[in-house]
Structure 1
Amino acid sequence: MSNQLESILQSRASVGKYQTGKQIPQQDIQELLRLATLSPSAFNMQNWHFLVVNSDEAKQRLHPIAYYQPQILDASATVVICGDLDGYQRLEERLTPSVEAGILNDEIVKGWSEMVNSGFADNPQAQRDEAVRAASLAAMTLMLAASGKGIASGAMSGFDAQGLQKEFGLAKERLPVLLVTLGYPDQASWPQKPRVSVQDVMSIV
């Protein structure tokens, strides 16, 4: 592991207090989200979507939906990480660039599409599970990418998902999984909290 990556992993902390008024340039947020799309997903389905809550007006709308947690207003932006329940329906489209690059061929894509349709088409639980997995992986990649660029982040699960869908007009197939705040930490922010020993959370069989 590179020293830089190890340093990021050992220092990254979830931030709840941000410097107000210090904004991340929009192009930097876009670059962080580009890096987030490099996350793994089943069959390279890429069944995620990122709603960036950036304006003061949008933050005010999100604030009560996130139970009035102050970081929604103080952070430069909050990214709503969504997983698409119907992502399996777009698999062939998502894999076309891999075919064009010579990584996959049409036969593989056809086989994968048949497997995905068989496993997901009539299985709402599988659709939801995969949406949550993909969105969660993308959220972690986003937070690590932010740390690498000197930007703090915090993952939030405390929000009304149905209220968020309604307020921001998200399609019913687009499941809000996590909120990730982005910004610059206030001096009162905590450092990374100690973790339990790996021996306490590991089994080898």
Structure 2
Amino acid sequence: MQAIQALEQRFSANHFDTNKPVTEKQIEQLVYLATQAPSAFNIQHTRLLAVVEPAAKAALKAVAFNQQKVEDAAVTFVVLADTQAHEHYARVNEQAIEAGLYDQQMAEKMLEMVAGNYADKPGFSRDEALRSGSMVAMNLMTAATAVGLASGPMIGFDPKALQQEFKIAERYLPVMMIAVGYEGAGNWPKKPRLTTEEVLVKDARPGQTHPFSQ
């Protein structure tokens, strides 16, 4: 399936076919595609838990206010944002040097820029990690559609209970859960979207009054 088709056909699923599991290879493919998403300085803030084992699903369902799709989906991903990812930027920088993208001078400059943007700025670091995690999540859902799977993003869960149950350190913020599997019966079709005219100001310019000015 082409990317444009996947974007147009993706919908938020609540019902999954409980008789059709996904393979470990499929999970790895989804994560690989999801992590092609951009992040500032290529810091790559996002980490993921893939919950597939029945007892683990039951535990995850409990912290997700007993939403049945957690148990029915073949896998539920927990998308985590590392608020301290910038502290390990040296490793990313080394990869860029090894790939021939940076020389040593540029690498040192990038390290300085990352430190200046993130060190001792917890609020900014948190916001940036959440932005990056959201882009990875969208990539994952688009990729799932492209390979014939359904997905459903979830914000209905207790983040503290999730962190405690799955031993997640405080530095990792739960962005969302994404239930993934083969589509089951009973899902709503894709819901209508606002028109392009309702969400777009064409040729926006400074000082210009537009529908979003009030």
For Structure 1 versus Structure 2, the TM-score category normalised by the shorter chain is over 0.9
Deviations 1:76-115 (A, max 9, x none): 0100000101100111201222211111222222112212
Q: 1:73 corresponds to which residue? A: 71
The one-letter amino acid of 1:129's match is D
SS in structure 2 of the partner of residue 50 of structure 1: strand
RMSD across aligned C-alpha pairs, in angstroms?
A: 1.2
Map 1:145-184 onto structure 2 (within 5 A).
145-184=143-182
* 1:58 shift after superposition: 0.6
Which 4+ residue blocks in structure 1 deviate beyond 4 angstroms? Answer: none
- Whether 2:97 is the aligned partner of 1:99: answer yes
The one-letter amino acid of 2:151's match is S
- 5+ residue gaps in structure 2? 205-214
Residues 57 and 71 of structure 2 are in contact (CA less than 8 Å); yes or no, is this contact kept in structure 1? yes
Deviations 1:8-60 (A, max 9, x none): 11111110111113100111101110111111001000111001111001111
Q: 1:36 corresponds to which residue? A: 34
Q: 1:129 corresponds to which residue? A: 127
Residues 21 and 74 of structure 1 are in contact (CA less than 8 Å); yes or no, is this contact kept in structure 2? no
Counterpart Cα distance in 1 of 2:171 and 2:186 = 39
- 5+ residue gaps in structure 1? none
Counterpart Cα distance in 2 of 1:112 and 1:18 = 45
Find 2:106's aligned residue among 105, 108, 124. 108
Larger radius of gyration between Structure 1 and Structure 2: 2
Return the TM-score normalized by structure 2.
Answer: 0.91
SS in structure 2 of the partner of residue 194 of structure 1: coil
Higher alpha-carbon deviation: 132-141 or 98-107? 98-107
Find 1:193's aligned residue among 186, 191, 194. 191
- Whether 2:9 is the aligned partner of 1:11: answer yes
Deviations 1:122-174 (A, max 9, x none): 11111110110111000011111111110111111111111111110011111
Identity in percent: 36
Counterpart Cα distance in 2 of 1:5 and 1:119 = 33
Residues 6 and 143 of structure 2 are in contact (CA less than 8 Å); yes or no, is this contact kept in structure 1? no
Return the TM-score normalized by structure 1.
Answer: 0.95
